[in-house]
Chain A
Amino acid sequence: MTPTPVTETSVGKALPTPSERPLLTTVTIGLLALVLLAVPVYASMAGDPHVLTISSRILVFALAALGLNIALGFGGMVSMGHSMYLGLGAYLVVLLHTAGVDSGWLQLIAIVAITAVIATAVGWVALRTHGIAFIMITLAFAQLFYYLFVSLKSYGGDEGMRLEQLSDFGVLTGNRTALYYALLACLGAAAYGTYRLVGARFGLVLRASRINERRVSAVGTHALPYRLTAYVLSAMVCAVAGFFLANLTGFVSPAYLEWTVSGELIVMVVLGGVGTIIGPIVGAIGLLLLEEVLKAWTEHWPMVLGPLIILMVLGLRRGLWSMLPVPNHDSADVTQKERP
């Protein structure tokens, strides 16, 4: 007699709860943080600003992937449209400048607030559906915004445009190193915030609703408001990443909202390990570095990346980060967690 029905899924079979972190994980995170912190130092010593640019770009997407992870990894909402929030954050920098708001801090606040409103509307409509319909609708909404921005001729149309002015942060405006460390700080804050969120009462409902929404209702909780909130939070984090992207490249373009970007974000989350907190960061680093290598090798790099993604799906079920050994919940020894 089988217990609960087992479904084949690439989601981590038994998720490590935030309250139990083995020494190995802490050490790895520490090393990762050290490497990330050292990048600008290395870049200036080696006299290679390109490294800083690439690393900043990786951090932008790491932040966006971290955002998506809240909805996708923990909430199980497969949103194929999160690129729209990345693009929205970027475009709002330009739009706010047109509206006379140049202060970086004010822009950031405005971006988060505006994104929250839009994400609530989009999320409310999308969450009226489940499964395949939900995925399709998120994709469609992203396309909606894509075409919307393409049609804005005064903002470059489908070519995009250069920023007339970067977000104003006083003397630090345009400072690449400051940008990098600000990104890193946001990344750390977002990661820690997710960590607390997931272990709190909100996180319990969200994670449960991914696994068995029927059960959540049966105990008396309406899952929808929690899922919508998670969706909006994840959108807000993506929008902040977009803000950084615009300032990093000095450019906004509808290409930021392409569905391929949404797809890449999902790859990053899954590659790193769905439902883990550091996973998306590892996944972003992994995917973007891989893309750099492939692009250098051949101009037909999508033909290589595509099958690699397929192999990842078929083979690497729990993501890179989950390959770290995690202890069983009620024993102290460190063993690979396996489903019975």
Chain B
Amino acid sequence: MTPLLSVRGLVKRYGALLVTDGVDLDISKGEIHAVIGPNGAGKTTLINQIHGEVRSDAGTILLAGKDVTSRTVYQRARAGLGRSYQITSVLPEFSVLENVLLAVQAVQGHNFHFWRPVTQTPALVEAADRFLALVGLLEVRRRTAGLLSYGQQRQLELAMTLAIEPKVLLLDEPMAGLGASETQEMTQVLQGLSSHYAVLLVEHDMHAVFALADRLSVLVYGKVVFCGKPDDVRESAVVREAYLGDEEIPA
């Protein structure tokens, strides 16, 4: 099966600093591929490059077989690339429903409609409600997003990402700032979804990573030093060395 996301030889330099050093990745549908590594390894830059917010200096990015390397962020989104942010970027002044509607309407034709209220367009509202139900936010659909709890905002972030009906998900630290029970919830939600998408997961919470990931890439100084199944990663001496003093890999 052709991978939905295929990255070859991705490079990014900031002046003399080489942040991404020839990264290769393949992620197929139904697979959760986690990228882990010590701080400063370049995980955020890598996600930004794949997402399109950062322009790569070399390499190719294939999305469902299509070359999107020179495409803008919104073009990649339309081609099926969804991304959730580490720092929650929901729109605090909008209601929960409006946030998801923004995403839903983005992939349903153009938005040069000037008259009919969005909230009275059944096709869009029904679609939005479906995604809200998926993350458990249906009851608070009318609440102003800025008034939600942090955990709920993270869920909304996920709902917006899913609402554009992507093929590939880039999840940038979805557990960031979540408490123990919220992390459990989020993990379950992600496990439930994963069969529909190819998922690239960047995450520091190792328990979540080992619970979710089908494969792991370990990124050190912009280079993938190891790629394999979670158990193999646990055993690897290379990985231990890289992580020594940084994070605890659960035994």
Contact, chains A and B (beta carbon distance below 8 A): yes
On whether A4 and B73 interact (CB within 8 A), knowing A15-B93, A204-B111, A329-B144, the answer reads: no
Main secondary structure on A side of the interface with B: loop
| In the complex, chain A residues 55-94 whose Cβ is within 8 Å of any chain B Cβ | none
Q: Is B164 on the interface with A (CB-CB < 8 A)?
A: yes
| Min C-beta distance of A267 to chain B, whole Å | 23
Complex contact B142–A226 (CB within 8 A) = no
Complex contact B113–A200 (CB within 8 A) = yes
Highest count of chain B CB atoms <10 Å: which of A18, A204, A211, A229 = A204
Q: Is A34 on the interface with B (CB-CB < 8 A)?
A: no
| In the complex, chain A residues 196-229 whose Cβ is within 8 Å of any chain B Cβ | 196-197, 199-205, 207-208, 211-212, 214-222, 226, 229
Complex contact B91–A340 (CB within 8 A) = no
On whether A200 and B114 interact (CB within 8 A), knowing A3-B153, A4-B88, A220-B107, the answer reads: yes
On whether A220 and B164 interact (CB within 8 A), knowing A207-B94, A329-B144, the answer reads: yes
Highest count of chain A CB atoms <10 Å: which of B85, B114, B163 = B114
Chain B residues contacting A211 (CB-CB under 8 Å) are 91-94
| In the complex, chain B residues 64-88 whose Cβ is within 8 Å of any chain A Cβ | 72-74, 77-78, 82-83, 85, 87-88
* A219 to B91 alpha-carbon distance, docked (Å): 12
* A175 to B78 alpha-carbon distance, docked (Å): 55
On whether A218 and B77 interact (CB within 8 A), knowing A201-B113, A211-B91, the answer reads: yes
Contact of A222 among B74, B117, B160 (CB under 8 A): B74
Complex contact B146–A196 (CB within 8 A) = no
Chain A residues contacting B144 (CB-CB under 8 Å) are 14, 328-329, 337
| Interface residues on chain A, size class | 35 or more
On whether A200 and B93 interact (CB within 8 A), knowing A216-B102, A219-B77, the answer reads: no
| Min C-beta distance of B142 to chain A, whole Å | 4
Number of A-B residue pairs with CB-CB distance less than 8 Å in the complex they form: 144
* A30 to B51 alpha-carbon distance, docked (Å): 49
A-B contact pairs, 23 of them (CB 8 A): A1-B177, A4-B88, A13-B146, A14-B146, A18-B117, A19-B117, A196-B117, A203-B114, A204-B98, A204-B118, A205-B111, A211-B93, A214-B73, A215-B90, A216-B106, A217-B74, A218-B73, A218-B83, A219-B107, A220-B77, A220-B103, A221-B111, A337-B144
What would 18 more interface pairs be, CB under 8 Å, given A4-B146, A214-B53?
Answer: A2-B150, A4-B92, A13-B93, A196-B114, A197-B115, A199-B119, A201-B111, A201-B112, A201-B121, A208-B102, A217-B72, A217-B73, A219-B102, A219-B107, A220-B78, A222-B72, A226-B112, A330-B140
